A and B are shown apart, each in its own frame.
Chain A
Amino acid sequence: MTKHYSQHDLLRFVYGETSAIESENIVVLLDTDDDFRKTYKNLLTLKVAMTRAEKTPSTALIENILSYSRATHLHSV
């Protein structure tokens, strides 16, 4: 019997949380079901966009954090 895969399963697949067997079955379904594939592409596009939308803090802030770490290390030695 073919297992039905929901959009929740697809979401877990996009985030790498499905088991090997589930992943294999979902890949087969992506090849055969246009709607499923379209939903997958939309999810993946948003996932990539959210990663690309990441911002980097200022260099000064990172230097402050590293300086604090070095200073506390010196005090704790």
Chain B
Amino acid sequence: MNYNMRSHSAFSKSSTTPRYKMIDDSSLVNLYKEGDEKAFEELVNRHKSKIYTAILLIVKDTYLAEDLMQETFIKAINTMRSGKYNEQGKFLPWIVRIAHNLAIDFFRRDKRYPTTELDDNGQMFNTLGFAEDSAETAQIRKETYTRLRVLIQQLPEKQREVLIMRHYAEMTFQEIAEATGVSVNTALGRMRYALINLRKNMTKSNTDYDQALFSA
């Protein structure tokens, strides 16, 4: 079959062969539907951090995020296997939307809303490359990014929703506007305020790394 190649900038780490890394999402889904498990492995590895982070930013609990991520993929696998997937190359927004709906369902069912903050337990690890940093710098970086995730979680719901959709689900502002029933300008405004709030709250901290992050 013919499949489309990805641009160089879209490469990501995964355990699959270089051939699969070159193939775009839409073609990987088609290969998977034909029974190619390696194509699915590449899709999972390519997007696992974005999907997991999006869920984590909604539910604020690492164990629950892992459960929901598993549920999300089970649903996605079943949909693709049944031939009902027709997202035309938009795999990531589609699967993040599944995750978002499952998270909302969970809170509705459980009648509780997330209040816990992120923790860094031994099973989790950051995707940041610390190899070139000293141990101290690496620690400051890690704390800064953990703090950033907490600050994203604390954003007003509508701002957080747009930020997750644009940054982690890679939806365009037009797609976000359509999905949330607002104008493109409103979606852009919410994103802008989300980033203003994040910056304001990040700079409240006096750590060296925070200053370095925003003094450019």
**Complex alpha-carbon distance, A65 and B52, angstroms:** 13
Q: Which of B126, B145, B152 contacts A56 (CB 8 A)?
A: B126
Chain B residue at minimal CB-CB distance from A70: B37
Q: How far is the CB of A37 from chain B (nearest CB, A)?
A: 10
CB distance B77 to A50 under 8 Å? no
- Measured as residues with beta carbon below 8 angstroms from the partner, the interface class of chain A is 35 or more
The number of residues on chain B lying at the interface, defined by a beta carbon within 8 Å of a beta carbon of chain A, is 51
Q: Contact flags (1/0) for B168-195 with A, using CB distance below 8 Å?
A: 1000110000000000010011011001
* A to B contact number (C-beta, < 8 Å): 115
What's the nearest-Cβ distance from chain A to residue B88, in Å?
18
Secondary structure dominating the interface of A: helix
Supposing A62-B48, A66-B40, A73-B35 touch, asked if A54 and B53 sit within 8 A by C-beta, the answer is yes
Interchain CB contact under 8 A, A57 and B172: no
CB B202 to nearest CB in A, in angstroms, measures 8
With both beta carbons as reference points, the residue of chain B lying nearest to A9 in the complex is identified as B188
Q: Which of B4-50 contact A (CB under 8 A)?
A: 35, 37, 40-41, 44-45, 48-50
> A residues bordering B, Cβ < 8 Å?
7-8, 11-12, 15, 17, 41-43, 45-47, 49-58, 60-62, 64-66, 68-70, 72-73, 76-77
